[in-house]
Amino acid sequence: QVQLVESGGGLVQAGDSLRLSCAASGLADHPYVMGWFRQTPGKEREFVAAISHGGNTYYRDSIEGRFSISRDNAKNTVSLQMNSLEPEDTAVYYCAASNDVVFVRSRERYRYWGQGTQVTVST
């Protein structure tokens, strides 16, 4: 059984940093792409960042340079370092896994999802 568990969310002020982590289990020995998505009420879940098994990274245009995704394949973890947070970054952040190495920005391609962690950035 695949399980993705996010941690690290919280309430911070604009300009602060947060580091989200995702612990994956049950994925077996498969080169999954790991991604982070976020969602606010009334809006679609949107792509934030992704990283391939080999370490290729992909980012949403609006966050590139502020966020950094990384993974530890030995520990089956993926992290999202978020710097210079803005109120517009407020959302529930989800960790996800996909075996599609091409359409890494498409949420429909992700088969497994975590429960999400809330990030709130105040002014």
For residue 64, what is the DSSP state?
B
Q: How many whole angstroms separate alpha carbon 66 and alpha carbon 119?
A: 15
**Mean pLDDT calculated for residue range 30-53:** 95
- Where does the pLDDT of residue 30 fall: very low under 50, low under 70, confident under 90, or very high at 90 and above? confident
CB-CB neighbours of 44 under 10 Å: 8
pLDDT of residue 28 exceeding 90, the answer is no
* 8 Å CB contact between 98 and 111: yes
Q: How many whole angstroms separate alpha carbon 114 and alpha carbon 7?
A: 10
**Residues, the chain:** 123
Token code pair at residue 66: 């502020």
